[in-house]
Structures are given as structure tokens and as C-alpha cells.
Chains A and B, each alone.
Chain A
Amino acid sequence: MKIAAKILFVGLVVLFLIPALACAPKAGPSTPPEALKPEVIRVGMIGDMTGPYASIVGPMHVAFLDACQYVNDQAGGIAGVRVEAVCRDSAGKVDSALAHYMELKAMKPRPVTLSFYVSGEAEACHDRLVEDKWPAMTVASLASVYPRGYTFGLYALYRDEAGAWMDWVMQNYPAKNKVAFLTWDTSYGRDIINDEMRAYAKKVGINLVAEELFGIRDTDVSTQLTRIMKLNPDWIFTCTAGHGPGVILKSMAGMGLIGKVKLAGDGVGFAEAVPLIVGDLANGCVVSRSFASLAETDIEGIKWINYYFNLNRRRPTDAGGAAQCAFMNVLLTKATVEGALAAAGGDWSKVDGAAIKAQFEKLQNFTALGLTDITYTPERYHPNKVRIFEIKDKKHVPVSGWLPCPTDDTTPMRLR
């Protein structure tokens, strides 16, 4: 046999052997039970801090850090163990989110829970979370995120928020029932445009007169508004984040429509960032969401959010996102990990992803220091209550109590 052929043969054998070796299951190191109490508990967060959703997720990121600080300083950590935040920026790119997922998964110790702050990323990691038995929370409230797995929502589905808002409109303004949807041309924005939503609007008596879309980077929607106004709606409902409602309101102001038609929107998108962006134009807008307003300063959770905001000298722009979600996020982790530990009789070796997930499924009326009201069930992994807020003097003021969401009506048939 020639030397070249020998080299080739040996090379090929090695080439076939390597994958077999690399793919072989690796035995994990055995750890004595007494050494299993962790020195630190990590909580992971992956979000778009610098991409299109930065105006919402950026402030959530700092609030996430504040929430961990609160748990360590004021709440005794998680079962006495210090909490450490591990935050990663996906810049709105799913491949980056996936890379961060792998990085966090490889960490020792692995974060006990993971949080996703963008829809596409939560959807992309859904199956991996199941395979890795890794409980996760998300602010992405698309029904498609929650086919049962390991992902739990922090607030109601966008469609549910819209549905509950429709109920509120019919209870309080039955004569003003003409609604137009003007929303982003993204999975988030389009979540309210579907047959189930149309059927629900019809069922409760809402006259859905228009469905218009605009791009996430568009800065003017006067064309869409011109078409909408020909149909003379009473309300415009939007599912857009941060600058999205700002774009609509500025276009409305430019066309002299402020006061002629009211703008309403979903909770996380129409957060405290909107008045920061458009100022007084936001006054009068209506928001449907599952968590308290920063203006409700008598709520304990809001007090702590404001306390750490001031303590850490956050920038005014950091107050614009749904800091409440970040606090709810960390407090949910605390509650479920402590619940799993109690269920295991204090044996840390049994506090794994499956045990924590089981605790999520048992959560009933979890208030997170008064910030929310969450009940998960083994069949429903997202909250189904909202409150309606009206922006007055640039603050979200509650105008309703907790309203039930029409989950059974608005969830897509294929996901029921």
C-alpha cells in the first residue's frame, strides 16, 4: 500500500471515530448530598437590550438587576442563598439568543430559571427548554409560546388583553364600539389579528372596522390612519412596544386626530416608556395589562422598585419599561425554588428543573408584592387576568379592578 493511501486510510478511520467519541454520553461527576446546597443561585435573562425592543427590554434589564438586589438585601435571598443575575443581550437576533442559551446552559451552576424578553427567542428555545428541563419565563405573550413545556408567561396573552379590553369597552362605553386595529407587522403585533379575535369582537358586540399594519422601524402611519379614519372608529387598538404607540400618537397629532379617536394598547408595549417618548400626547390613552402601574405607589412592590431605582441612580429613561415584569420574574423564581425545596424536605439534590416547574403549575393567586395576580394551572401557563389603566398626567392610573380574560375564546383552535 502506498504511503499516501495509508495516511488516507488512517485519516478516514480517525474521522469516523471522532464523532462517535464526541457524541457518546458523558457521565456527570457524582456530588455528595451535603455539598449540594449552592453558594449562589443564578437567574438567567436573555433579551433584546440594544435592538428594536431596546426601549422596553433595556429598562427591564436594569430592573432585573434591582430585583435580584432586592431579593438578596430584603428577602433573604432564595432559601438563604444569594441570587446572582446573569443577563445577556441578544440584540434582537435569534442566533445570538441561541448562543447565549448555550452559554448559560454550560454555566456551573446553571441558572435555575431563564427569562426571555422577546417573542421569537422564547419560541426558538421552547423545545430546547423542554429537552433540558429548564423552567423559563417570558414577557412574550403569544399563544404559540405556551404549548405546554417549560415556558411560563408573566402576563396575559396579547389577544387576552385585547379581549378583556373589549369587554371593558362594552361595559363602560357600549355606544363607542367601533374599533380599528393598527399594529406592528410582526408576530407580536399580528397576534391580535386572527379569526378568533374577530369572532370574539363580534360575540361581545365590538364592530371591528379596520385592520392596519405598519413596520417596526416606520416613523409615520398617516397613510394607515387616513384609511382608518374613513371608517370613523371610536378606538384604535395597537400591539406595539415603546416607540410604536409613540409613532401612532405623533401621526395622530399631525393629522389633528387627538381627541377625535382614542388609542388603546396592550400592557407591556404601552408601558411607562410611552409618556416619556411622546409626553402629553399619551394622556387619555387606555392600556390593558396584568401588572400594577408605577404610579400606584401604595403597592409594596412599586415602593421597592422605586427605592432601588433611586438607590442605584438609574437614568430617567430606565423608568420607561415594565420594571414590574422584571421584579415579578425574580420573585416567581424565588417562590418556585423555595416551594420545590420545601416539597423535597430541604434536600437540594431534588431541586431540579422538573421540581421547579411543578411548583409553577401549583401557583395560585401569586401577587409578587402586590404587583400582579398570577394563577398557573397544568393546562394554562400564562396569567389570565388584566386591569385597565388610563394615562392621566403621563401616569398609568387604574380605572378597573382585575378582569378575567377570555382565554378560551381567543386562544387559537390548534393550541387549545
Chain B
Amino acid sequence: MRPYGTYDETYAQDMAVCRTRLQWSILIGWLILLLSLPLFLDEWMVNFVNFIGISVIAALGLNILTGYAGQISLGHAAFIGVGAYTTGMLARYLAFPIWITLPCAALTAGLVGLIFGLPSLRIKGFYLAMATLAAQFIIPWLIINIRPDITGGAHSFRVPAATLEIGDMALTSETSLFYLIIPLAALMTFFAKNLHRSRAGRAFIAIRDNDLAAEVMGINLFTYKSLAFFICSAFAGVAGCLWAYWMRAIAVDQFSLMESIWYVGIIIVGGLGSTSGVIMGTVFIRGLDRLVKIIGPTIEGAVPQLTGPWGATAALGPMVFGLVVLLFIILEPRGLSHRWEIFKASYRLWPFSY
């Protein structure tokens, strides 16, 4: 719904993401505010924003696969791992700068994701979830066992600081990484937002809604399902690349099944198929997790009866995550983005209602 008097005169206007001057101003204002954050946040908060930025990129990829194309993946963290290890090896052994490692990580993760997505043509739903789950076991096994001399095996793999090859500039501080991660996150968000309005995006949505009908309409299921897996995993690869530079030491433990489930939870809470929902879901879930860690000891101190052998906080994080996902599925299956739409509609009509 748009305010009274706002109308389109051309097709380009109709297709624009930002349709009014006000929307442009708000967007630029938000971007300025976002990029100014390091000026008034301490390093701990900038670190958290960086974490959210990386998570947003990864979740956007999963949202394209699950939210748009209706395919499920429980191996998303493993694909992030592929991107991270690709980056690590290229940066450490070949001293490649980030502008080379980033596309390589996206491409490698995309191709690996494509392989694990191939079964999607024959199976779907629960069975596809199981097939993608295989990635979560096979990829770490390969990293640990095939060439541990190259990958570091079970040990952490040190990643050199990101370099741009501009006067030996290395991105080591959280602030410098912020200006790498956040613009990329914004760019990927723009790409994801536009994707669902493209030919491929509409094909994804058609497949999600009814794959038989989509095929009858002439949509090549194999091509588009594979494309969805490729794009999803390429996003994961980019996230993995940034994760590697951010973390500086990567290990297979960092890309566990639990992480994959967190990403599924993020897009459910945000609202499947909504780009803004992904951002909201990421901020909400990651923020909640961080909040639980902060207030956990306080709860433990206030209610000692709740404590287990070594503290109530032991199960608080996963418990809250599970509870939130459960509540959203029951009470608001369309996620935070739907709540936001309802709020906007109410705000425009306030104080009058239908």
C-alpha cells in the first residue's frame, strides 16, 4: 500500500525498489547512519554488527533457496565452511587479495552446493532435507581427513588478514572489516531483493508454489532448482569468505549442523520469502542470543534454584531459540516482516481504522 497521490507513470517507476523521494531519503539516511556506526560504537558493538552482517548474507542465500524456491537445505553452514576454507587457503598459500578470494569462495561454495542440490530434482521436503544434511557430514569429514596438511585437519586453520593490495593495506581492525562487510551485505541485499522480481526469481516462486504447474508452464525444473542451490551456496560462500577474514582462524567446529539450524530459524522468524524479513530475523535472533548471554548470569544469580551443575545459562540460549521459533511458527508463521507490514499499514491509517 502506498500513500494517497503516489502513482506510477512508467513501467520503470512501477518496477523501482524506491518509488518516492521520501523513500530515497530514508534509504540514504539509513545508509549514512549504518556507515557512521563505528564513529559512536565501541569495538565490541562493531564486532556484533559485523557478525550480523555476515549472518545476513548467509541467511539471504538460504532465503532465496527456501523462501523463494521452496527447497530446503540443512547443510548451509557446511557451504559457509567451503567458502571460508577456500578463502583461507587462497589467502594463506597464494597470498591472494580479497577481491580474488571473494569471488572464488562464492564460486566454489556455489558449485559444491550445486552438487548437493542435484537430488532436489527427484526428491523434496523431508527427503531433500536429509539429502542436504549429508553435506553437513561429508564436507567436514573431507576437510579433516583428505588433506589435513593443507586444510589443517581437525586443528584451526589460520587465515591472514584481508588485504586489498592498496599499499599493503590489511583489514585487521573491526572497523576496517566493518567497511568491508557492511557494504557487501548491502550489495547482496540489493541483489537478493531484485532477484525475486527477475525471470529466475519468478521461476523460483512458481516452483515453490507448485512445481508440477511450473513445469507445465515451461519452467525447466532442473535448471532453476540447480540455480537456486547455486545462488544460495554462493551467498554462503561470500559469508564464509568474510567469516574467515573476520575470525582469522577457522575450524570445522564453526560450521556445525547447529549453525545450519540457526539459519533456518532466522529465516522462519524473519518471514520466509522476505528480504527485509531476513535482516529483521538475523538482528532478532543474533541479538536475542547475545542478550541471553548477557542476562544469563543475572538470572542465575537471582534464581539460584534454576541453576544446573554449572549454571542456568548452559541451556538458556538454545532454549530461548527453540521457544522463539516455536512461538513464531504457531503465532506468526509469516514472520517479523509480516508484523512490520501490518504495523506500516496501521500507521498510515492511524488514527482511523477500517
A residues within 8 Å of B by Cβ? 3-4, 7-8, 11, 14-15, 18-19, 21-23, 49-51, 54-55, 58-59, 89, 91, 94-96, 98-99, 102-103, 105-106, 119-120, 123-128, 131, 142, 144, 185-187, 189-191, 315, 317
B179 / chain A contacts, CB cutoff of 8 Å? 19, 22-23
- Report the separation of the CA atoms of residues A119 and B156 in the bound assembly, to the nearest whole angstrom: 9
A190 / chain B contacts, CB cutoff of 8 Å? 153-155
Stretch from B42-50, B58-66, B101-109 that touches the partner:
B42-50
A123 touches B310 (CB 8 A): no
B39 touches A22 (CB 8 A): yes
- Report the separation of the CA atoms of residues A14 and B43 in the bound assembly, to the nearest whole angstrom: 22
- One of A19, A59, A99, A187 near B154 (C-beta < 8 A): A187
- One of A11, A142, A185 near B31 (C-beta < 8 A): A11
- Report the separation of the CA atoms of residues A59 and B309 in the bound assembly, to the nearest whole angstrom: 10
- Report the separation of the CA atoms of residues A15 and B29 in the bound assembly, to the nearest whole angstrom: 10
B309 touches A58 (CB 8 A): yes
Q: How far is the CB of A64 from chain B (nearest CB, A)?
A: 13
- One of B36, B47, B154 near A18 (C-beta < 8 A): B36
Interface size on B, residues (CB 8 A): 50
Residue-wise interface mask of B (150-189) relative to A, using a CB-CB cutoff of 8 A (1 in contact, 0 not): 0011111010010000000000111110110000000000
Q: How far is the CB of A40 from chain B (nearest CB, A)?
A: 20
B293 / chain A contacts, CB cutoff of 8 Å? 89, 91, 96
B310 touches A55 (CB 8 A): yes
A-B contact pairs, 21 of them (CB 8 A): A7-B28, A15-B32, A19-B179, A23-B175, A23-B176, A50-B314, A58-B309, A89-B293, A94-B251, A98-B246, A99-B44, A102-B42, A105-B43, A119-B156, A120-B251, A120-B254, A124-B156, A126-B249, A127-B161, A187-B156, A315-B309
Cβ of B97 under 8 Å from chain A? no
- Report the separation of the CA atoms of residues A55 and B314 in the bound assembly, to the nearest whole angstrom: 11
Cβ of B311 under 8 Å from chain A? yes
- Report the separation of the CA atoms of residues A190 and B44 in the bound assembly, to the nearest whole angstrom: 33
- Report the separation of the CA atoms of residues A200 and B37 in the bound assembly, to the nearest whole angstrom: 54
Cβ of B317 under 8 Å from chain A? yes
B residues within 8 Å of A by Cβ? 21, 24-25, 28, 31-32, 35-36, 38-39, 42-44, 46-48, 51, 144, 152-156, 158, 161, 172-176, 178-179, 246-249, 251, 253-254, 290, 293, 296-297, 309-311, 313-315, 317
Which of the listed residues A91, A96, A317 has the most CB atoms from chain B within 10 Å of its own CB?
A91
- One of B155, B174, B247, B317 near A91 (C-beta < 8 A): B317
B24 touches A98 (CB 8 A): no
- One of B28, B47, B249, B313 near A11 (C-beta < 8 A): B28
A50 touches B313 (CB 8 A): yes
Main secondary structure of the interface of B (DSSP, over half): helix
- One of B24, B28, B35, B158 near A19 (C-beta < 8 A): B35
B310 touches A18 (CB 8 A): no
- Report the separation of the CA atoms of residues A1 and B176 in the bound assembly, to the nearest whole angstrom: 34
Contact A95-B51, Cβ < 8 Å, known A4-B21, A8-B24, A123-B249? yes
- One of A7, A14, A94 near B25 (C-beta < 8 A): A7
Instruction: Write the chain B residue with the least CB distance to A50.
Output: B314
Which of the listed residues B158, B178, B310 has the most CB atoms from chain A within 10 Å of its own CB?
B310
A144 touches B44 (CB 8 A): no
A123 / chain B contacts, CB cutoff of 8 Å? 155-156, 158, 249, 251
Q: How far is the CB of B81 from chain A (nearest CB, A)?
A: 13
11 new A-B contacts, CB < 8 A, other than A23-B179, A124-B247, are: A7-B28, A11-B28, A15-B31, A23-B175, A54-B309, A94-B253, A99-B47, A102-B43, A105-B44, A124-B249, A190-B153
- Report the separation of the CA atoms of residues A7 and B22 in the bound assembly, to the nearest whole angstrom: 11
A317 / chain B contacts, CB cutoff of 8 Å? 309-310
Instruction: Write the chain A residue with the least CB distance to B27.
Output: A11
Which 3 residue pairs of A and B lie closest in terms of their CB atoms, listed nearest first? A58-B310, A123-B156, A11-B28
- One of A14, A50, A98, A144 near B155 (C-beta < 8 A): A144
- Report the separation of the CA atoms of residues A162 and B324 in the bound assembly, to the nearest whole angstrom: 46
- One of A21, A58, A102, A120 near B311 (C-beta < 8 A): A58
- Report the separation of the CA atoms of residues A127 and B173 in the bound assembly, to the nearest whole angstrom: 12
- One of A89, A127, A186 near B248 (C-beta < 8 A): A127
Q: How far is the CB of A330 from chain B (nearest CB, A)?
A: 20
- Report the separation of the CA atoms of residues A164 and B24 in the bound assembly, to the nearest whole angstrom: 69
Contact A49-B47, Cβ < 8 Å, known A120-B253, A190-B154? no
Instruction: Write the chain B residue with the least CB distance to A318.
Output: B310
- Report the separation of the CA atoms of residues A317 and B44 in the bound assembly, to the nearest whole angstrom: 33
- Report the separation of the CA atoms of residues A149 and B295 in the bound assembly, to the nearest whole angstrom: 34
B44 touches A106 (CB 8 A): yes
Contact A21-B175, Cβ < 8 Å, known A50-B311, A91-B293, A190-B154? no
Q: How far is the CB of B309 from chain A (nearest CB, A)?
A: 5
Instruction: Write the chain A residue with the least CB distance to B149.
Output: A414
A7 / chain B contacts, CB cutoff of 8 Å? 21, 24-25, 28
- Report the separation of the CA atoms of residues A18 and B34 in the bound assembly, to the nearest whole angstrom: 10
B32 touches A120 (CB 8 A): no
Q: How far is the CB of B290 from chain A (nearest CB, A)?
A: 7
- Report the separation of the CA atoms of residues A119 and B155 in the bound assembly, to the nearest whole angstrom: 9
A102 touches B247 (CB 8 A): no
B32 / chain A contacts, CB cutoff of 8 Å? 11, 14-15, 18
B21 / chain A contacts, CB cutoff of 8 Å? 3-4, 7
B249 / chain A contacts, CB cutoff of 8 Å? 94, 120, 123-127
B24 touches A4 (CB 8 A): yes
- Report the separation of the CA atoms of residues A124 and B157 in the bound assembly, to the nearest whole angstrom: 9
A124 / chain B contacts, CB cutoff of 8 Å? 156, 247-249
Q: How far is the CB of A363 from chain B (nearest CB, A)?
A: 26
Which of the listed residues A58, A123, A144 has the most CB atoms from chain B within 10 Å of its own CB?
A123
Contact A99-B290, Cβ < 8 Å, known A7-B28, A15-B35? yes
- One of B36, B51, B253, B310 near A50 (C-beta < 8 A): B310
